[in-house]
Amino acid sequence: MNVEMNEQIRVKPTGYLVFKRIADVILTILASPFIIILVAIFAVAVKVDSKGPAFYTQMRIGKDQKEFKIYKLRSMRTDAENETGSVWAEKDDPRVTKVGRFIRKVRIDELPQFFNVLIGDMSIIGPRPERADLTWQFEREIPGFANRLLIRPGITGWAQVNGGYDISPAEKLAYDTVYINNMSLKQDMVIVGKTIGVIFTGHGAR
C-alpha cells in the first residue's frame, strides 16, 4: 500500500469492525498471562531505575472524540513535561530514562494498553491515539487529521510499522488514512508481522 498525502478517508460500514472487536477481546484474554508477567518484571525495573511510579497514565482522544485514560509503563522522568507542556515525541528523546529507552525500543512500555483494548477504548491495531490538545492543533494545521478518530485507536498500526514514532503528523495521517481505507484481515496480519519485526530490530524507536 502506497502512501498518498492527499488521499481521503473512506470508512466503510462493514462487519469487519465487529470481527476486529471480537478478535481484540479474544487475543487479549489469551495473551494476558504472558503480558502480566512481562509488565510485572519491567515495572520493577522502572522503579529501580528512576524515582517515581512504575506506571504512567495520560488522557488521550479516541474513536468519536471520546477521551480516555491510556496506561503505559513509565519511560520518561516524572518531570518530563513540567516546563514544556504537551510536545511531540522525538527520536533519542533526552527525557527518556535508561530502562525507558529499552522498553520503548521493544515496545514493552505499551503492553498495559491491552487493558484499554479489553475495556473497549482501543484496538490492537489502529491509529495511535494522541492527546486532545495536540490532535486539535494538528487538525488546524493539517485539515483532516481528526479523521483518524473515525475508528478505535491501536497499540500498533500501519504508521508505526512503516514510519515509527518520529514521523511528522502529516505523514502519520497519510499512513493512517491508507489503513482505514484498506482495513482487512490480510492487512492486519501484515501489520502484526511487521510489528514483530519492529520489536526485534528496534526500528522506529523514539
Question: In the chain, how many domains are there?
Answer: 1
What is Dmax (Cα atoms) for the chain? 48
Q: What's the gap between Cα 120 and its chain centre?
A: 15
Query: Does 9 map to a domain?
Result: no
Its pTM stands at: 0.84
Query: Does 104 map to a domain?
Result: yes
C-alpha cell read off for 191:
501489520
First-to-final CA distance of the chain = 24
Query: Does 6 map to a domain?
Result: no
Residue 141: the pLDDT is: 95
Residue 90: the pLDDT is: 57
pLDDT digits (tens, 9 = 90+) for 121-131: 999 999 999 99
Query: Does 173 map to a domain?
Result: yes
Residue 91: the pLDDT is: 57
Query: Does 2 map to a domain?
Result: no
C-alpha cell read off for 120:
473497549
Q: Which domain holds residue 29?
A: 18-201
| Residues 6 or more apart whose Cβ sits within 8 Å of residue 30 | none
Residue 86: the pLDDT is: 54
Distance (Å, rounded) from C-alpha 56 to C-alpha 104?
A: 13
Side-chain half-sphere CA neighbours of 11 within 13 A: 11
In order along its 206 residues, the chain shows pLDDT tens digits of 444 545 666 665 578 899 999 999 999 999 999 999 999 999 999 999 888 899 999 999 999 999 999 999 998 887 655 555 555 555 566 778 889 889 888 889 999 999 999 999 999 999 999 999 999 999 999 999 999 999 999 999 999 888 776 789 999 999 999 999 989 999 999 999 999 887 777 664 44
Residue 162: the pLDDT is: 87
